[in-house]
């Protein structure tokens, strides 16, 4: 069972794999082992993954067989395990719990070579809907507090050597530090202004237009004012909502249009660029007693972040929490805004 260990100074959690510990030579092997073999995520290879948790399929096709559009399977190398209880405990002055959680792979397309910028709007909205279904389902597990949807594309961004487009969901038994920081920041602003900070950002950005990349009926894409990375792009719903999975059917189709357009622009500007994508939605509250997070629905606002990895994160960033961005977001936004696709 993996262990969750808490840094005693700043409270950051680390998932420590206690089985299959990697020794120095394992890292060396991994570095040189960029293989191109049979892809377990392609249509027709369904038996190469664990049985599917959910799939959007054509009528008449069979579970774990071909005929699907989007497919969710458990990770074969899960960082957290679904079995067991948290077993929170001390270890001298340190805090530990068992690595309980869920780790799922969302295969975005049956086609090995298709990236989001090349998909149809309808297809991307199916992916978005599948994510919402999975979040809603995981919320039923009372041990879980959060689910992070993310994506790693390209080796530099931590992606694997298999390029087949897929996202991941990791559900954790604690609300992650990064989310808590945002919740706390958003709440402080709300206490001061009695308005959502994200709604205010959207308003200011729509007024100025200088950092807007694209906007649709229901969404806006922008280069954030304090972008950490060149061409960093955030997508926010114009309607205030803290929960990604409460997205409406109409918004879902519009979200598909937004994703296809933004990725189309990024790919035209940057080629096959390495990136990380994350969705920050509110923590699970269905099983919570009244208390600290009661105000989330009014002060938090879900959003999606695309982080192109064109620059390296190095000692200064690790040591300070500062970032160095060589491309002003106004120039990145103008470049992407003007990019015809």
Q: Tell which positions 83-112 bind a second copy, by CB under 8 A.
A: 91-94
Contact with a second copy (CB under 8 A) among 88, 155, 161, 239: 155
Helix axes 121-138, 249-270, angle to 10 degrees: 120
CA distance 332 to 202: 18
Torsion of CA 291, 87, 6, 290, to 10 degrees: 0
Name which of 6 and 246 has its Cβ closer to a second copy. Answer: 6
Stretch that binds a second copy, among 65-73, 126-134, 136-144, 308-316 (CB under 8 A): 308-316
3-state SS, 219-284, equals EEEECCCCCCCCCCEEEEECCCCCCHHHCCHHHHHHHHHHHHHHHHHHHHHHCCCCEEEEEECCCC
Distance in Å, CB of 242 to a second copy, minimum: 14
Asked if 190 touches a second copy (CB under 8 A), the answer is: no
Residue 272 in the binding site for a second copy (CB under 8 A): no
Stretch near a second copy under the rule CB under 8 A, chosen from 54-62, 113-121, 201-209, 236-244: 201-209
Angle, helices 177-193/197-208, rounded to nearest 10 degrees: 80
φ, ψ of residue 330 to 5 degrees: the values are -65, -40
Question: Which positions from 114 through 153 interact with a second copy, judged by CB under 8 A?
Answer: 146, 148, 150-152
Is 23 an interacting residue with respect to a second copy (CB under 8 A)? yes
CA distance 103 to 75: 6
The stretch near a second copy (CB under 8 A) out of 41-49, 182-190, 235-243, 289-297 is: 182-190
Encoding tokens for residue 267?
């790919």
* Residue list 240-269, contact with a second copy (CB under 8 A): 269
Spatial neighbors of 15 by CB under 8 A, at least 6 apart, are 2, 3, 4, 79, 80, 99
Among 5, 57, 163, 288, binds a second copy (CB under 8 A): 5
DSSP tag of 81: B
321 lies in the site for a second copy, by CB under 8 A: yes
Indicate the residue among 24 and 60 with the shorter CB distance to a second copy: 24
Q: What are phi and psi of 14, to 5 degrees?
A: -130, 140
Among 172, 233, 241, 261, binds a second copy (CB under 8 A): 172
Q: Nearer to a second copy by C-beta: 9 or 34?
A: 9
Tell me, rounded to whole angstroms, the distance of Cα 157 from its chain centroid: 13
State yes or no: residue 278 binds a second copy (CB under 8 A): yes
Span of 60-68, 106-114, 287-295, 323-331 interacting with a second copy by CB under 8 A? 323-331
| Interactions with a second copy, residue window 64-83 (CB under 8 A) | 79
Least distance to a second copy from the beta carbon of 57, Å? 27
Among residues 61, 208, 209, 248, the one that binds a second copy under rule CB under 8 A: 208
Interface residue with a second copy among 47, 249, 319, 338 (CB under 8 A) is 319
Q: Of the two residues 38 and 313, which places its CB atom closer to a second copy in the complex?
A: 313
Placement of tokens 């990791």 in the chain = 170
Decide if residue 179 touches a second copy (CB under 8 A): yes
| Residues from 216 through 235 that contact a second copy (CB under 8 A) | 224-228, 230-231
**Distance, CA of 177 to chain centre:** 15
Counting Cα atoms < 13 Å in the Cβ hemisphere of 315 gives 0
Is position 15 an interface residue for a second copy (rule: CB under 8 A)? Answer: yes
Q: What are phi and psi of 24, to 5 degrees?
A: -50, -45
Nearest distance from C-beta of residue 120 to a second copy, angstroms? 24
Site for a second copy in 30-69 (CB under 8 A): none
């Amino acid at each position: 069972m993996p262990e969750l260990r808490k840094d005693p100074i700043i409270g950051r959690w680390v998932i420590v794999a206690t089985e299959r510990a990697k020794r120095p030579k394992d890292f060396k092997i991994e570095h040189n082992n960029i293989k191109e073999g049979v892809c377990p995520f392609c249509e027709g290879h369904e038996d190469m993954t664990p049985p599917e948790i959910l799939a959007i399929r054509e009528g008449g096709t069979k579970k774990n067989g071909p005929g699907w559009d989007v497919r969710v399977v458990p990770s074969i190398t899960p960082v957290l395990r679904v079995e067991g209880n948290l077993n929170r405990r001390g270890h001298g002055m340190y805090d530990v719990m068992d690595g309980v959680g869920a780790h799922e792979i969302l295969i975005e397309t049956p086609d090995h070579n298709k990236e989001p910028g090349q998909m149809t709007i309808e297809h991307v909205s199916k992916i978005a809907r599948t994510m919402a279904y999975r979040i809603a389902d995981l919320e039923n597990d009372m041990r879980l507090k959060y689910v992070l949807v993310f994506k790693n594309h390209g080796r530099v961004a931590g992606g694997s050597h298999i390029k087949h487009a897929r996202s991941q969901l990791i559900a954790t038994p604690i609300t992650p530090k990064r989310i808590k920081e945002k919740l706390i920041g958003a709440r402080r602003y709300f206490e001061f202004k009695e308005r959502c900070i994200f709604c205010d950002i959207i308003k200011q950005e729509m007024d100025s237009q200088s950092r807007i990349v694209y906007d649709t009926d229901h969404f806006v894409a922008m280069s954030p004012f304090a972008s950490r990375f060149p061409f960093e792009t955030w997508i926010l719903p114009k309607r205030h909502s803290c929960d990604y999975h409460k997205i409406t059917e109409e918004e879902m189709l519009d979200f598909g249009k937004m994703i296809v357009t933004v990725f189309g622009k990024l790919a035209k500007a940057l080629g096959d660029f390495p990136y990380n994508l994350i969705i920050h939605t509110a923590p699970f509250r269905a099983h919570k007693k009244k208390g600290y997070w009661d105000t989330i629905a009014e002060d938090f606002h879900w959003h999606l972040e695309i982080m192109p990895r064109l620059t390296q994160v190095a000692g200064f960033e690790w040591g300070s929490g500062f970032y160095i961005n060589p491309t002003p977001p106004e120039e990145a936004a103008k470049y992407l805004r003007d990019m015809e696709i």
